[in-house]
Structure 1
Amino acid sequence: MNLLGIVAVSGKPGLWKALAQNKTGYILESLDVLKTKMVANISTAKIAALNEITLFGEDEDIKLVDVFERMKNSASVPDAKADGKKLRDFFREVAPDHDEEKVYASDMKKVLNWYSIIKDLPLFTEADPTTAVAEEPAPAEEPAVVEEPAKPAAKKAPAKPAKEADAEKAPAKAKKPAAKKA
C-alpha cells in the first residue's frame, strides 16, 4: 500500500494528495471526484501524513497502514456511521491490541472514512516504494572501469577594448561647482 504523499488536514474533511510545497505551505489536491486544490498554510493548518499516523496500542503504537491491510483482508467492513459497539468489535478484529481507553469512537469513524476513500484508488494496491526498495536483492556488482571525462579548457573572457578597460580602472571624477568670489 503506497500512502506516500496522502495527508489529512485538520479542519478539512477527506484526504488530500500533496502536489508541491511553496514558501507558505503545501499545495494539496482532494482525493474525491472534484479534485479541489488548495494551499494549506504551514503556520495555521495541521497536516498529518497517513503513512506516519499510528493508533494507541496496549504495548506499542499500531501503524495505520497495518490496520488498513487488515481491513482489506477483512470479510466485512462496517459503515463509518455504525454505532460505537459495532465499530469497537470491528477494531478488536483488525487492531486487536489497540488501547480501548485512548482510541475513541470518533477516531474509529475517521479511520473507516479514510479507508472508504482510498480503498478503490490504485495507490491502495501499489507496493510501498520504501519497502519495495529494501526487499529487492542487490545485483551482483562487477568491477567497472570508469573513465573520467576530459576537462574542458578554461575559457578566458574576451579582452575589453583599451578605452573601456582604462575607464573602469580610473575612478570617475566628480565636477565641483565653481566657488564664487566675493
Structure 2
Amino acid sequence: MNLRGIVAVSGRPGLFKLVGQNKVGYILEGLDAQKLKVVANITNTKLASLEDITVYGEDEEIKLVDVFTKISAKGTTPDTKADTSVLRAYFNEVAPGHDEDKVYASDMKKIIGWYNLIKDLPLFTEDTPETQGTPAEVKLSEEKAAADKKQKATGAKASNAKATTKTSAPAKKASMTSKKGV
C-alpha cells in the first residue's frame, strides 16, 4: 500500500494528494470526485502524511498502513454514522491493542472514512517505493528543515543582539560620565 504523497489537511475534510509547491504554499489535489485543487498556506496550515500517522496503542503505536491492511483483509467497513459501540467493536478487530481511552469515536470515523476514500485508488494496491519520496515530498522535507534551521539561527541572532545591546549600553554610559568628569 503506497500512501506516500497523500495528506490530511487540518481544518479541511477529506484527503489530498501533494502535487507540488510554490511560494505561497503546497499545491494539493482532492482525492474525491471533484478533484479540487487547493493551495495550502505554508505558515498556517498543518499537513499530516498518511504514511506517518499512527494510532495510539497500549504497548506501542500502530501504523495507519497496518490498520488499512487489516480493514482491506476484513473486506467490509461499518457506516461512519454507526453507533460508537459498533465502531469500537470493529476497531478492536482491525486495530487490536489500540488504547481505548485515547482513540475516540471521531478518530475511528475519520480512519474508516479515509479508507473508503482511497480503497479504489490504484495507489492502494501498489507497493511503497523505497525511494525518499516524490520530488514534491523531498522538497517539502528540505524546506521544513531549512525553515527550522532559519528559525534557530534567527533565535540565536536575536539573543546575540540582546547581549550586544546590553554590553554596549553600559560602555556608552561609562564614556559619557568620564567626559563629564574631565
Give TM-score, length-normalised by structure 2: 0.70
User: Percent identity at matched positions?
Assistant: 63
Q: Distance in 1 between matches of 2:35 and 2:76?
A: 29
The residue that corresponds to 1:97 in the other structure is 97
**Structure 2 residues without counterparts, runs of 5 or longer:** 132-182
Structure in which a larger fraction of residues adopt helix: 2
The residue that corresponds to 2:85 in the other structure is 85
Question: 1:48, CA displacement in angstroms?
Answer: 0.3
Question: 1:2, CA displacement in angstroms?
Answer: 0.5
The residue that corresponds to 1:64 in the other structure is 64
Q: Which SS does the other structure have where 1:26 is aligned?
A: strand
Q: Which SS does the other structure have where 2:130 is aligned?
A: helix
**Structure 1 residues without counterparts, runs of 5 or longer:** 132-182
Q: Distance in 2 between matches of 1:126 and 1:90?
A: 25
4+ long deviations beyond 3 Å? none
Q: Distance in 2 between matches of 1:43 and 1:4?
A: 22
Question: 1:75, CA displacement in angstroms?
Answer: 4.1
Q: Distance in 2 between matches of 1:76 and 1:118?
A: 14
1:50 maps to a residue whose letter is: L
Q: Distance in 2 between matches of 1:9 and 1:45?
A: 7
2:118 pairs with 1:118: yes
Aligned pairs for 1:1-182 within 5 A: 1-130=1-130
2:63 maps to a residue whose letter is: K
Q: Distance in 1 between matches of 2:130 and 2:10?
A: 26
RMSD of Structure 2 on Structure 1 (CA): 1.1
Give TM-score, length-normalised by structure 1: 0.70
| Greater relative contact order (Cα < 8 A, sep 6+) | 2
Larger radius of gyration: 1
Q: Which SS does the other structure have where 2:2 is aligned?
A: coil
- Number of residue pairs matched? 131
Q: Distance in 1 between matches of 2:63 and 2:7?
A: 15
